[in-house]
A and B are shown apart, each in its own frame.
Chain A
Amino acid sequence: MFSSNTILILAIPQAVLVLLLLIKPFDKNNISSSLILTIVTIAGCTSVLVRIFELTHENPAWALWLYVIAQVIMIWESMSNWTRINTDHKPFIDNIVNLTVPFLFGASLIYLWEILTVGFNVPQILLPSPHLIALAFAKSTSVLWADFQQTFVKAVLSGYLIGCGSGFLIAIFIDRVPFLQKGLLPIGNLVSALPIVGVAPIMVMWFGFDWHSKAAVVVIMTFFPMLVNTLTGIAASGQMERDLMYSYASNYWQTLLLLRLPNALPFIFNAMKINSTLALIGAIVAEFFGTPIVGMGFRISIEVGRMNVDVVWATITVAAMSGSLFFALIALCERSMTAWHPSMRNR
């Protein structure tokens, strides 16, 4: 498909640039120089990527290592060039730079993964290359979507809402009835320390094989962080502010709704962010212990047994993306609702 001429055309600019850099290093730090550097690096990387699929066993391993090291150096140089750009604090350019570097970093990690697994012929059942994972993802989209609905939409979301909701309500209850703090907190502590792998089979026995038992596991995992954080948050309002509310003759509920809960929001969002990752982990692990034949944890455990490791990685990708998006959504809500908090100030 690619002739050797195309490969040379892609690789030569990079070689030329490297020679130029050795003779006269770049001292301009602006966007155009970074862009040139990045584009040339990408061209060089593409030439290697195309070549490795034609490698035979006779090619020596050290040649591939030289390629890899050379590419890593070029990638390093281009990324550090991006961060050294003098943006004059213009927000538009700031945004471009802030988005480009993480994107390039992630892309180069995946690139290195690809050339190392393909170049060194790593067995697919140990670590599949990204292109195989992408193929598996494309082939099994309907299956992955069904799994996502079973695990994320049914088990994680319902368990998360019940767990966080009950944690919040019990925290307010404890605040109203002080002696319960001494009684319920240690029990909450105990419940949170129960290992999932011990609790999950018991939940399956109680609630059956379907998503209800997974939601129950998620409730157990998310209850305590929410409880503790809400309690701490409610108690965090300052003495002066509480005195002010007292002087306005506000009753308990008014103080709670107008002063103490808004002050508790940073803590509550903290707990919600922690719980978002815990919920996903809990639901997937709980599925190892008995499911109907759909679900992300189910998919991972059976495809590992069938040696379809690329489908396992495709499921992992779905889990990672959904977990990150969930977290990002909560962070976005936090940013809009607690914009007054010092931690939200821009640098």
Chain B
Amino acid sequence: MKKILFLAVLGMFSWSALAADKLTLQLKWVTQAQFGGYFVAKEKGFYSDEGLDVTIKPGGPDIATPQVLAGGGADIIIEWIGSALATREKGVPLVNIAQTFKRAGLMLTCRKDSGIRSPSDFKGKTIGVWFGGNEYPLLSWLSKLGISASGGSNGVTLIKQGWNVDPLLQKQAHCVSTMSYNEYWQVIDAGLSPSDLVVFKYDGEGVAVLEDGLYVMENRLNDEKFVNKLARFLRASMKGWEYAGENPDKAADIVLENDDTGAQTEKHQRRMMREINKLVASSDQPNGIGYLDPSDYNRSVNVLLSSGDAVITKAPKGAWTHKVYEAMINL
């Protein structure tokens, strides 16, 4: 009799765990401070305060997050707008529900000794690009400048860069693609100093596209319960990003604790967290972190349509929504 009562009491405790709503978030890259806000929200209990049980899956070099979403491996993914809109045009209807990063971190880093001082000096030079969706801003910029991307003395020779900055260090390319929060610092750590480098930020050249945003499958937004879950997730994630903005070192440490590979270092992550905070730019998001500004979206679509390499052939309809944001306000 006592055993049955004991088991029943235990059962009642587990009920609260059953009540927590499950969500899976697929990251765009490996565990690093680029996703600090989500790790902070999980570690500090912001998700469980909202009654959510969130699983964060790290990404990596061979993981295309839209494929994970289409295959049912995640409920929400982090993706950049170019790849997301290309996937939408290929028949997988994903929708942007929040835009975490207001600013873009993609930039071109060149060696000063290559002689490049301004974009018109790109003619005849070799530029490293990652491809896989990251080439569209550069292609759009080159078509804006009227420089061809197929090599020759009046054009630019493109090479497919690996996930490192070796071409710049080995002098195999005059410029390489870097993220302001990651690869740029790898170049600095490798021994080059900022005075040896010339940096072009895509944001400043007007050819940046929106980067880290949250995307879900369109048909799931018809389910009111799922929208409610997403709204709670958004609220808790925003709190996480605000915390990361105010306490970058503590947030970086949380990310390091969650890094199963052990590949990240404290110095690199703390620096990355500070740079990411500049991209989240919470002071420039008066409606709150994650509110997608339609003018930013339209600018990105224009860049993608003019990249000359047809990532999308027509302006997409219904690719973003404020439904989750409004649900969050009304919670």
Confirm or deny: B86 has a beta carbon within 8 angstroms of a beta carbon on chain A: yes
Q: Are A305 and B133 in contact (CB under 8 A)?
A: yes
Q: Are B86 and A306 in contact (CB under 8 A)?
A: yes
For B57-98 the 0/1 string (1 means CB < 8 A from A) is 000000010110011000000000001001100111000000
Q: Are B92 and A125 in contact (CB under 8 A)?
A: yes
Contacts of A13 in B (CB 8 A): none
Interface segment among B5-13, B154-162, B177-185, B322-330: the answer is B154-162
Central interface residue in B67, B91, B135, B160, by most chain A CB within 10 Å: B160
Task: Report if A124-B160 is in contact (Cβ < 8 Å); known contacts: A304-B132, A307-B64.
Answer: no
The closest CB in chain A to the CB of B170 belongs to A205
Interface positions of B from 129 to 147, Cβ below 8 Å from A: 131-133, 135
Q: Are B91 and A124 in contact (CB under 8 A)?
A: yes
Confirm or deny: A233 has a beta carbon within 8 angstroms of a beta carbon on chain B: no
Central interface residue in B91, B162, B166, B172, by most chain A CB within 10 Å: B162
Complex Cα–Cα for A83 and B55 (A): 53
Complex Cα–Cα for A205 and B151 (A): 21
Task: Report if A125-B162 is in contact (Cβ < 8 Å); known contacts: A209-B167, A306-B83.
Answer: no
Complex Cα–Cα for A306 and B134 (A): 10
Q: Are A307 and B160 in contact (CB under 8 A)?
A: no
Interface positions of B from 109 to 157, Cβ below 8 Å from A: 131-133, 135, 157
Confirm or deny: B311 has a beta carbon within 8 angstroms of a beta carbon on chain A: yes
The closest CB in chain A to the CB of B158 belongs to A293
Q: Are A126 and B64 in contact (CB under 8 A)?
A: no
**Candidates A125, A201, A292; contact of B166 at CB < 8 Å:** A201
Contacts of A290 in B (CB 8 A): 159-162, 166-167
The closest CB in chain A to the CB of B62 belongs to A304
Complex Cα–Cα for A209 and B157 (A): 12
Contacts of B133 in A (CB 8 A): 305-306
- B142 CB to nearest A CB, Å: 13
- A127 CB to nearest B CB, Å: 10
Q: Are B70 and A125 in contact (CB under 8 A)?
A: yes
Contacts of B159 in A (CB 8 A): 209, 290-293
Q: Are A305 and B83 in contact (CB under 8 A)?
A: yes
The closest CB in chain A to the CB of B310 belongs to A306
Q: Are A302 and B87 in contact (CB under 8 A)?
A: no
**Candidates A123, A289, A302; contact of B132 at CB < 8 Å:** A302
Confirm or deny: A204 has a beta carbon within 8 angstroms of a beta carbon on chain B: yes
Central interface residue in A290, A304, A306, by most chain B CB within 10 Å: A306
Q: Are A305 and B87 in contact (CB under 8 A)?
A: no
Contacts of A262 in B (CB 8 A): none
Interface positions of A from 272 to 309, Cβ below 8 Å from B: 288-293, 298, 301-302, 304-308
Q: Are B92 and A292 in contact (CB under 8 A)?
A: no
Q: Are A301 and B131 in contact (CB under 8 A)?
A: yes
Central interface residue in A201, A209, A292, A307, by most chain B CB within 10 Å: A307
Contacts of B161 in A (CB 8 A): 290
Complex Cα–Cα for A289 and B86 (A): 24
The closest CB in chain B to the CB of A288 belongs to B162
For A115-131 the 0/1 string (1 means CB < 8 A from B) is 00000000111100000
Range of interface residues on chain B? 20 to 34
Complex Cα–Cα for A298 and B129 (A): 12
Contacts of B86 in A (CB 8 A): 306-307
**Candidates A201, A204, A205, A307; contact of B83 at CB < 8 Å:** A307
**Candidates B66, B135, B157; contact of A292 at CB < 8 Å:** B157
Q: Are A305 and B131 in contact (CB under 8 A)?
A: yes
Confirm or deny: A323 has a beta carbon within 8 angstroms of a beta carbon on chain B: no
- B119 CB to nearest A CB, Å: 20
Contacts of A288 in B (CB 8 A): 162
Q: Are A292 and B160 in contact (CB under 8 A)?
A: yes
For B259-271 the 0/1 string (1 means CB < 8 A from A) is 0000000000000
Contacts of A205 in B (CB 8 A): 166, 170
- A55 CB to nearest B CB, Å: 16
- A303 CB to nearest B CB, Å: 9
- A226 CB to nearest B CB, Å: 29
- A247 CB to nearest B CB, Å: 61
- A121 CB to nearest B CB, Å: 10
Contacts of A123 in B (CB 8 A): 70, 91-92
Contacts of A201 in B (CB 8 A): 162, 164, 166
Other A-B pairs beyond A290-B162, A307-B92, 19, CB < 8 Å: A123-B92, A125-B87, A125-B92, A126-B71, A201-B162, A205-B166, A209-B160, A209-B172, A290-B159, A290-B161, A292-B157, A292-B158, A302-B160, A304-B132, A306-B83, A306-B133, A307-B64, A307-B67, A308-B90
Q: List 29 A-B contacts (CB under 8 A).
A: A123-B70, A123-B91, A123-B92, A125-B66, A125-B67, A125-B70, A125-B92, A201-B162, A204-B162, A205-B166, A205-B170, A209-B167, A290-B159, A290-B162, A290-B167, A291-B159, A291-B160, A292-B158, A292-B159, A293-B159, A301-B132, A301-B160, A304-B64, A305-B133, A306-B83, A306-B132, A307-B67, A307-B92, A308-B90
B residues at A contact (CB < 8 Å): 64, 66-67, 70-71, 83, 86-87, 90-92, 131-133, 135, 157-162, 164, 166-167, 170, 172, 311
What are the 10 closest A-B residue pairs judged by CB atoms, nearest first? A305-B132, A302-B131, A307-B87, A289-B162, A123-B70, A290-B162, A307-B90, A305-B133, A209-B159, A291-B160
